[in-house]
Amino acid sequence: MTLDGLPRLGVQLSTLRDSIKDLNGLIPRLAADGFEVVKPDDLAKLLADNGMVAPSGHVSLGRDGRLPDASLDALQAIGVDTAIVAFMPPDTFKDLDGVTRIAEKLAAAAQHAAARGMTLGYHNHFWELAVSTEWGV
């Protein structure tokens, strides 16, 4: 949100895959077109030079189920304050025990992010919403 309460116009850079080859040309062009928000890569200076911010970025939990500090370091280096876990395999959600395990991992990751002044979110997909009637929920 902007200071006047209106939403900012943003773009997810992965939707511009063909144009990303020229970031030095792409970012100024997006800014000139009125975009104020992008999903981050390694863009700190380029964003700052064009008056743009990157409020969120995707991360993955490590093999141990924890949120790697290196991922948070990279996001914070470009001003990101919201880390989004981008994906969990569909089989993670096949039963209530799997959903419970991932919820516990995400809760721990959220606490870890909060200790660093960040918020954690999850980018959901259709398979997480396919609740089994056998679960009793």
Separation CA 39–CA 111 (nearest Å): 23
Element containing residue 59 per DSSP (H, E): strand 56-59
User: Which pLDDT tens digit goes with each residue over 66-97?
Assistant: 899 988 998 898 889 999 998 888 888 888 89
- Lowest-pLDDT range, 24-28, 29-33, 84-88? 24-28
pTM of the full predicted structure?
0.69
Burial 26-63 (b: 16+ CB within 10 A, else e): bbeebbeeebbbbbbbebeebbeebebbbbbbbbebee
Mean pLDDT over the full length of the chain: 82
Confidence of residue 133 (pLDDT cuts 50, 70, 90): low
Q: What is the pLDDT of residue 114?
A: 97
- Lowest-pLDDT range, 63-67, 81-85, 116-120? 63-67
* Extents of the domains making up the chain: 1-53, 55-137
The sheet with strand 56-59 has its strands ordered as 56-59, 82-85, 119-122
Residue 11 pLDDT greater than 60, yes or no: yes
